[in-house]
Amino acid sequence: MSAPTVAAPAIRTSDPLAQRLAAWPVSRAFAAVVILFLASAAISPASVSQSALLAMLPFAALTAIVSVGQTLVVQQAGLDLSVAGGISLGAFIVAKYGSSQELGLTMAIVLALIVAFAAGAASGLIVAFFGLPPLVVTIAMNAVLIGLVQFLSGGYSAEAPPSLASFSVGRTLGVPNIVYIAVVLIVVAQVVLKTTVLGRRYELVGANRHTAHAAGIGTRRYAVAAYVLSALLAAATGVLLAGFLRTTTLSLGDAYLLPSVAAVVLGGTALTGGRGSLVGTALGALFLGQLNQLVQTYTQTTAVQNIVQAAIIGVGIVVQLDLANRLRRRVIRRNPN
């Protein structure tokens, strides 16, 4: 039996091209990125120089990777606030146990992913089968993960293996290796989500759980899978981040929690669940990366940077949601039936 597809707001072919483009979340995210880069070039040309872009892209790529997992959870009308702990734990495990004197790099990465799988499965099962709020469950799981890092580290940082550091900071054809990983991940995930039966069912479950259940789709398994994938991608982000920074700290993942949610919303995925765009999320991550770069050209004070970024992100999210709601109401008026 073929999977039902998720109904999208109908856009008439007679509508002006600008309106049709504006109704597409990816186009809105792309427009925001273009405007930001043009503004950056006008305000601070140094922020769009080659060296500045090469310094920004790895962090934008890391944000994109963890945000892909966040997108999958948000599509199931959830929210994963344990990604910060997942990043910190993944980074610490690979740094502490990745040396040849310990488990070795490959086995350390496998261990980090196994722990992440267990944490994601636990969160997903509790949310799906016990009906507890995702916010509460994932905050509690984040505390567990951070506590595990504290227990394993004893309060000390760990240094990433040289081979991992060499790969994470390395470039291929002038492009950071981390960017390649993010691009491949996003393309593959987007193709699966948009062109396969599995992806269409996934979006249907997020958009209308009752309809999906009536169609014979096991809705709980998709919710659990969302949290598992988010945890795995958070741990993978931590592994790459440990190599890039060469050392780990207890709060290593904190800087990626808010951006992972902001990138999702800026990319056009509704917090109420349903359809989403991983490409839009990637563009949202790129927007945040360049925004941070632009702010840093004027001040190195972390507090000021956080305030400016939070204000601009808030405005961007409000504009994105307001535009989406306006377009939805317009479609409803034109198609009342």
Question: What is residue 24's predicted lDDT score, i.e. its pLDDT?
Answer: 64
- Is residue 218 a part of any domain in this protein? yes
Beta bridge partners of 247: 159
| Structural domain containing residue 296 | 25-328
Long-range contacts of 36-39 (CB under 8 A, 24+ apart): 36/287, 36/290, 36/291, 36/294, 37/290, 39/294
Say how far apart CA 51 and CA 54 lie, in whole Å: 5
- Is residue 254 a part of any domain in this protein? yes
Say how far apart CA 98 and CA 303 lie, in whole Å: 34
What's the Cα-to-Cα distance from 163 to each of 98, 160, 192, rounded to whole Å? 10, 8, 32
- Is residue 7 a part of any domain in this protein? no
- Is residue 165 a part of any domain in this protein? yes
DSSP state of 4: P
- Provide the whole-model pTM: 0.88
- Is residue 250 a part of any domain in this protein? yes
Question: What is residue 276's predicted lDDT score, i.e. its pLDDT?
Answer: 82
Q: Which CATH number characterizes residue 246's domain?
A: 1.10.3470
pLDDT in tens, the chain (337 residues): 444 444 444 444 445 545 555 556 688 889 889 999 999 999 999 899 999 999 999 999 999 999 999 999 999 999 999 999 999 999 999 999 999 888 999 999 999 999 999 999 999 999 999 999 999 999 999 999 999 999 998 878 899 999 999 999 999 999 999 999 999 999 999 999 999 999 999 998 988 888 888 888 888 999 999 999 999 999 999 999 999 999 998 889 999 998 999 899 888 888 778 778 899 999 999 999 999 888 888 776 677 767 876 777 677 667 766 666 666 676 566 665 5
What's the Cα-to-Cα distance from 10 to each of 6, 14, 329, rounded to whole Å? 12, 12, 11
Cβ atoms of 102 and 96 within 8 Å: the answer is yes
Q: What are phi and psi of 215, to 5 degrees?
A: -85, 5
Tally of domains in the chain: 1
- Is residue 206 a part of any domain in this protein? yes
- Is residue 14 a part of any domain in this protein? no
String of b and e for 166-196 (b: at least 16 CB within 10 Å)? Answer: ebbeeeeeeebbbbebbeebbeebbeebeee
Question: What is residue 307's predicted lDDT score, i.e. its pLDDT?
Answer: 80
- Is residue 279 a part of any domain in this protein? yes
